[in-house]
Amino acid sequence: MHVKTISGLDKLIFDNRFVKELPADLETKNYRRQVMKSCYSYVLPAQVKEPTLVAYSKEMAKELGISHDDCSSKQFTNVFVGNEFLSGMKPYAMCYGGHQFGNWAGQLGDGRAINLGEIVNQREQRWALQLKGAGATPYSRNADGLAVLRSSVREFLCSEAMFHLGIPTTRALSLVLTGEHVVRDMFYNGNPQTERGAVVCRVAPSFIRFGSFQIFTSRGEIDVLRQLVDFTIRTDFPHLVKNDLKLDKQSYIEWFTEICTTTAEMVVHWQRVGFVHGVMNTDNMSILGLTIDYGPYGWLDDYDPDWTPNTTDADERRYRYSQQPEIALWNLLQLANAIYPLVEEEDPFQRALTTYNQHFNQEWQSMMAQKLGLKQFSVENDGGLFKELLTLLPEVEIDMTIFYRKLANINFQNEGLTDKQLIEPLVDAWYRFEAVSDDYQSRFVNWLRKYTERLRNEDASPEERKKRMNTVNPKYILRNYLSQLAIDKADKGDFSMVNELLEVMSFPYDEQLEKEEYAKKRPDWARNKAGCSQLSCSS
């Protein structure tokens, strides 16, 4: 008798609360349409010819209770490309809308993301699994529902890099090549190319976005809006549910206030590491304050607050680095408008939005103090120090990550240093130090003198201070050009650099002496190269 062994994957427990408790689209045929009065549509992933596993995240697998052996199995590749189902899976695509670049865009939805279901792990944590690039859904509009290797490598690596940097984010379990081809016109300039198709399995406690609520309000479907709000609070914000289990206006406001807070914290983290999301549309804002939808994102190399990697946004630069905090607030205002029908009072929303500003400012100042290695700080005394530095940094190309990392090496105890000796530990951070003017250098040194004097007023040893600074100023970030090098190799069938970057970015605050090359400044060839400094939404 043949006894089928039960693999670790078969033991995953799906509870699928989202589909169990929320209204489904009654149409089950898979064609593009407007889906009314429903939170999702049932849809199956497309079957692919020849899937190959490129990489997986050990940490994410462990979190889900999937062993290393299970990840190496053919079944794992098949399941996480969408070719095979585990018992309990109930695939669906979510309905949502959104403001894109400031304009209401109507229904968007999971056009190329298919949720497999939600599992509950041994620690009773809920994780939704979602395949990105697994084929068309009712929300695919005029697109194909697929994803190419380059954008999938970027999403996979960045999700995990952000996690290890300690930044709230959706996660990535796996990256699988489909063995099929996808046609993309990368810069929308009449040059379509055939690219390799891929599927990333994304993981998060919830994939609900600001736009998930907006769609119902925009259509006047307030009963569904209420169902989704109540579901979200009960599932993901259980601490807001009172003893009598009833949700009321007060609960909705407390909930919204918490979203303001978590969103503020997420953006402070982005500003800390120089992450530019690139497409902060309201459909790309997670209700849990997670970084979501890794598309044309980028990392600041030289500190340029006006920079955005997204070529689609090149003129207006709506989503540039310096404007991210303001855009998050604008998005929260759109969310407030969406929830308003459940509260019908403006003042509490205004107060919550004020909380965003207050919380953001407070967290931002404390983050800046930590980046500079200050133990205590006061806005009155230290505000000027931050401001002066942030005026100096964009003037001459200086690498943001290297600058803050090296700042920990400044000699602040010896008051008798010459200008040259004082600035020496930082010289490598400038892209062309030899071209830096005398005037700029002397203003910089002037700032350093104020800064070191400030440090001398604190009771901290250089070693202790350095240790502290190294926990907030990463040495390794997923520089745009590094991803591009890994993509170029992966395109030729060599996945080694994808896996190498995954490993290096798992310890972004450690020295990793043998990995110095990944901590270097952007090389000159990458300055204006597609994929390295400029990215389109095409993916």
Given Mg ion, ligand AMP, none, residue 367, with its beta carbon under 5 to 8 Å by kind, binds none
Total chain residues near Mg ion (CB under 5 A): 3
* Chosen residue from 41, 83, 140, 284 binding Mg ion by CB under 5 A: 284
Q: How many CA atoms lie within 13 A of 535 on its CB side?
A: 26
508 binds ligand AMP (CB under 6 A): no
> Nearest residue to ligand AMP, using CB?
111
Cα 130 to the center of its chain, rounded Å? 16
Q: Which residues have C-beta within 8 Å of that of residue 125, sequence separation ≥ 6?
A: 63, 205
Given Mg ion, ligand AMP, none, residue 143, with its beta carbon under 5 to 8 Å by kind, binds ligand AMP
Which stretch in 287-295, 314-322, 343-351, 440-448 sits in contact with Mg ion by CB under 5 A? 287-295
Question: Least distance (Å) from Mg ion to the CB of residue 61?
Answer: 25
Q: Which residues have C-beta within 8 Å of that of residue 456, sequence separation ≥ 6?
A: 412, 413, 415
Given ligand AMP, Mg ion, none, residue 325, with its beta carbon under 5 to 8 Å by kind, binds none
Nearer to ligand AMP by Cβ, of 109 and 325: the residue is: 109
293 binds Mg ion (CB under 5 A): yes
Nearer to ligand AMP by Cβ, of 145 and 325: the residue is: 145
284 binds ligand AMP (CB under 6 A): yes
* Chosen residue from 46, 71, 146, 268 binding ligand AMP by CB under 6 A: 146
Which stretch in 61-69, 122-130, 281-289, 463-471 sits in contact with Mg ion by CB under 5 A? 281-289
Instruction: Tell me how many degrees the CA angle 331-334-337 measures, rounded to the nearest 5.
Output: 155
140 binds ligand AMP (CB under 6 A): yes
Which stretch in 65-73, 136-144, 441-449, 460-468 sits in contact with ligand AMP by CB under 6 A? 136-144
Question: Least distance (Å) from ligand AMP to the CB of residue 164?
Answer: 23
Question: Least distance (Å) from Mg ion to the CB of residue 276?
Answer: 16
Both tokens of 505, joined, read: 């970015």
504 binds ligand AMP (CB under 6 A): no
Total chain residues near ligand AMP (CB under 6 A): 17
195 binds ligand AMP (CB under 6 A): no
Binding mask 238-277 for ligand AMP (x = CB under 6 A): ----------------------------------------
Question: Least distance (Å) from Mg ion to the CB of residue 294?
Answer: 10
Question: Least distance (Å) from ligand AMP to the CB of residue 100?
Answer: 7
Question: Least distance (Å) from ligand AMP to the CB of residue 109?
Answer: 5
In terms of Cβ atoms closer than 10 Å to its own Cβ (0-12, 13-18, 19+), residue 266 is buried
Nearer to ligand AMP by Cβ, of 295 and 325: the residue is: 295
- Residue 193 CA to residue 536 CA, distance in Å, equals 14
First to last CA, the chain: 48
Cβ proximity of 263 and 328 under 8 Å: yes
Both tokens of 216, joined, read: 């119902």
In terms of Cβ atoms closer than 10 Å to its own Cβ (0-12, 13-18, 19+), residue 392 is middle
295 binds ligand AMP (CB under 6 A): yes
Cβ proximity of 98 and 283 under 8 Å: yes
What is the helix, strand, coil percentage profile of the chain, to 5?
A: 45, 15, 40
Cβ proximity of 309 and 297 under 8 Å: yes
Question: What are the backbone angles phi and psi of residue 249, rounded to the nearest 5°?
Answer: -55, -40
Given ligand AMP, Mg ion, none, residue 139, with its beta carbon under 5 to 8 Å by kind, binds ligand AMP
Nearer to Mg ion by Cβ, of 99 and 320: the residue is: 99
- Which residue type sits at 368? M
145 binds ligand AMP (CB under 6 A): yes
Instruction: Tell me how many degrees the CA angle 319-324-325 measures, rounded to the nearest 5.
Output: 155
* Chosen residue from 144, 221, 419, 424 binding ligand AMP by CB under 6 A: 144
Question: Least distance (Å) from ligand AMP to the CB of residue 292?
Answer: 9
Given ligand AMP, Mg ion, none, residue 146, with its beta carbon under 5 to 8 Å by kind, binds ligand AMP
* Residues paired with residue 276 on neighbouring β-strands, in sequence order: 298
- Residue 234 CA to residue 82 CA, distance in Å, equals 30
Instruction: Tell me how many degrees the CA angle 273-154-269 measures, rounded to the nearest 5.
Output: 20
- Which residue type sits at 246? K
Instruction: Tell me how many degrees the CA angle 78-174-96 measures, rounded to the nearest 5.
Output: 95
Binding mask 76-115 for ligand AMP (x = CB under 6 A): --------------------------------xxxxx---
Question: Least distance (Å) from ligand AMP to the CB of residue 27?
Answer: 18
- Residue 320 CA to residue 329 CA, distance in Å, equals 14
- Residue 12 CA to residue 126 CA, distance in Å, equals 12
Cβ proximity of 39 and 24 under 8 Å: yes
Nearer to Mg ion by Cβ, of 25 and 293: the residue is: 293
CA distances from 106 to 192, 244, 316, 521 (A): 28, 37, 22, 41
Active site residues: 283
Residues 386-425 that bind ligand AMP (CB under 6 A): none
Question: Least distance (Å) from ligand AMP to the CB of residue 491?
Answer: 18
Give the footprint of Mg ion on this chain (CB under 5 A). 283-284, 293
Give the footprint of ligand AMP on this chain (CB under 6 A). 108-112, 139-140, 143-146, 279, 283-284, 293, 295, 537
